[in-house]
A and B are shown apart, each in its own frame.
Chain A
Amino acid sequence: MVAVSQNYTKNEWKFSEIIADPTVRARWEKVRRYFFLRESTYDMTNRCNIRCEGCYYYEGAKQFAIENRNMGAWRRLMDDEKQRGITYVVLAGAEPSLVPELCAICFQAIPLGAIATNGLKVIPKSVNYKIHISVWGNDETSLKTRNAEHMLARQIKNYRDDARAVFVYTFTRNNVAEAYEVTQTLAENKCRMTFNVFSSPVRYEGCLRHTEESLRQTGYTMAELMSIYPDTVIFSPYNIVAHTHPLSLHGLYSCSYPRMNPSADIGLGRSFRQYRTDLTWDRSASCCVPDTDCADCRHYAAGSAVVTARLFRHACDPDTFKAWLDYVDTYLSVWVMDYEKGANLCDGPVQPPGDWARDIRG
């Protein structure tokens, strides 16, 4: 995707000038109300009811942790997390819907959060977190890569008309074209969706790993789907730039998760933990998608924190700041219950700010 030329020739913009535009100021005030969100993630169980190629959960040591299913232990953990200042939980690996009683304990203690699920088993409505349902292509592809039949139909049956649900279409190298039929099906069923980009686990060199060409195709497809299905797709032009760039999120923005960030003084480096199913955590492995190859990480969950954290560098001119606002508005809509996304402020892509261009040139 080719970036639009910047509309502004001025070298230095004051922040007060950038937010002088009433539309920009309103969006800034809207998103900054959520700066209090401080996340951690939790593997809920070692088990899953399907087995997908390229699944990051079944890489590395975390899959061998001994499951703790003691409800008292989980309640204590959540109380401690709250004391530590955690205001947002992400319940992930391997398949949280298999332990709904633990999800309920998390919700009782910390009422803001999201659950990453394959959507084949309904999570009780009393757990009022966002539910992210993973979609990896059409049913034929799902059968091949996830060994599950009629996956999309079953996911839709379980989560149609559920305000918690966001379907997350993961673009791999092989399923770019299928996104059209999947999005159409989701639109016909009045489901909301967002996009993810397959990010290889460490040492993975399989057929799902993106190439520059597949990333380019993914970007075009995302833009087209946003345009055809504006009421279905929750995304922005800047999301496309950030997640289909030849450089990974770490390459573009310098990842702020503990795994890549040695500072434990402030921000994610200080508060973020990724708990295994035995309720232990390891700083050196802590990020939202552990065991993902950082040089290939374009994961939507990672971007939500990594791009958002780079407020200062995006406040360099009106276009770049609007792009950042679109990104944050998108992320909040995908991750926070009852948060409604506004219209994108940028019509087209804007290049990410920072040192990446200089680094590429050497």
Chain B
Amino acid sequence: MSDEIILRIAQMMIDELKLEDVTAETFDPDIDLIDEVGIDSMDLATIALIIRDEYGIRIDEDDYPKLTTIRLISRYIEEKLKTAQENN
């Protein structure tokens, strides 16, 4: 599940932020998205909307600062999905 989500988030980043010279497979899931890729809060909000559409979860605005890598975003999604399953 985790690898699948990582690849999907990487593809979202590439598509939405029009990143070049990288594919979902070559996108380092541990690269710092803010310091090294240069994404900002508006970019992250856009990605959060796509994630909401695909996974049915909300990313709280207060949580943006924690989501600095694709791996961290992926873990966040998994945890939210797990909590949702437990609550059902």
User: Are A and B physically bound partners?
Assistant: yes
Is B40 interfacial (CB-CB < 8 Å)? yes
- In angstroms, Cα B65 to Cα A265, docked, is 5
Closest chain-A Cβ to B5's Cβ sits at a distance in Å of 18
Q: Which segment of B19-27, B42-50, B79-87 sits at the interface?
A: B42-50
Does the CB pair B41–A267 fall under 8 Å? yes
Is B14 interfacial (CB-CB < 8 Å)? no
Mark each residue of chain A from 292 to 322: 1 if its CB lies under 8 Å from any CB of chain B, else 0.
0000000000000000111111010000000
Most buried by A among B34, B38, B44, B65: B65
Residues of B within 8 A of A38 (CB): 40
Does the CB pair B65–A312 fall under 8 Å? no
Does the CB pair A15–B50 fall under 8 Å? yes
Instruction: With CB as the reference atom, state the residue of chain B lying closest to A309.
Output: B41
Is A14 interfacial (CB-CB < 8 Å)? yes
Is A189 interfacial (CB-CB < 8 Å)? no
Select one of B38, B40, B46, B50 contacting A267, CB under 8 A.
B40
- In angstroms, Cα B45 to Cα A310, docked, is 8
Does the CB pair A266–B64 fall under 8 Å? yes
Select one of A35, A266, A271, A315 contacting B65, CB under 8 A.
A266
Closest chain-A Cβ to B48's Cβ sits at a distance in Å of 5
- Complex interface residues of chain B between 41 and 65 (CB less than 8 A to chain A): 41-46, 48-50, 52-53, 59, 61, 64-65
Residues of A within 8 A of B11 (CB): none
Does the CB pair B53–A16 fall under 8 Å? yes
- In angstroms, Cα B42 to Cα A210, docked, is 32
Residues of A within 8 A of B65 (CB): 263, 265-266
Is B69 interfacial (CB-CB < 8 Å)? no
Does the CB pair A315–B49 fall under 8 Å? yes
Instruction: With CB as the reference atom, state the residue of chain B lying closest to A15.
Output: B49
Closest chain-A Cβ to B18's Cβ sits at a distance in Å of 11
Is A150 interfacial (CB-CB < 8 Å)? no
Select one of A36, A85, A313 contacting B61, CB under 8 A.
A313
Mark each residue of chain A from 14 to 56: 1 if its CB lies under 8 Å from any CB of chain B, else 0.
1110000000000000001001101000000000000000000
Q: Known A263-B65, A265-B65, A265-B68; judge A312-B43 contact (CB<8 A).
A: no
Residues of B within 8 A of A268 (CB): 41
Does the CB pair B49–A312 fall under 8 Å? yes
Closest chain-A Cβ to B80's Cβ sits at a distance in Å of 15
- In angstroms, Cα B64 to Cα A155, docked, is 44
Does the CB pair A312–B53 fall under 8 Å? no
Residues of A within 8 A of B48 (CB): 312
Q: Known A15-B53, A265-B34, A267-B40; judge A312-B45 contact (CB<8 A).
A: yes
Select one of A15, A35, A310, A313 contacting B40, CB under 8 A.
A35
Closest chain-A Cβ to B11's Cβ sits at a distance in Å of 15
- In angstroms, Cα B50 to Cα A38, docked, is 23
Instruction: With CB as the reference atom, state the residue of chain A lying closest to B60.
Output: A312
- In angstroms, Cα B44 to Cα A113, docked, is 24
- Complex interface residues of chain A between 229 and 282 (CB less than 8 A to chain B): 256, 263, 265-268, 270-271
- In angstroms, Cα B41 to Cα A271, docked, is 11
Q: Which residues of A contact B (CB under 8 A)?
A: 14-16, 32, 35-36, 38, 85, 256, 263, 265-268, 270-271, 308-313, 315
Given contacts A35-B42, A265-B64, A311-B49, 13 further A-B contacts (CB under 8 A): A14-B53, A15-B50, A15-B52, A15-B53, A32-B46, A35-B40, A35-B46, A38-B40, A85-B38, A256-B41, A265-B68, A271-B40, A312-B59
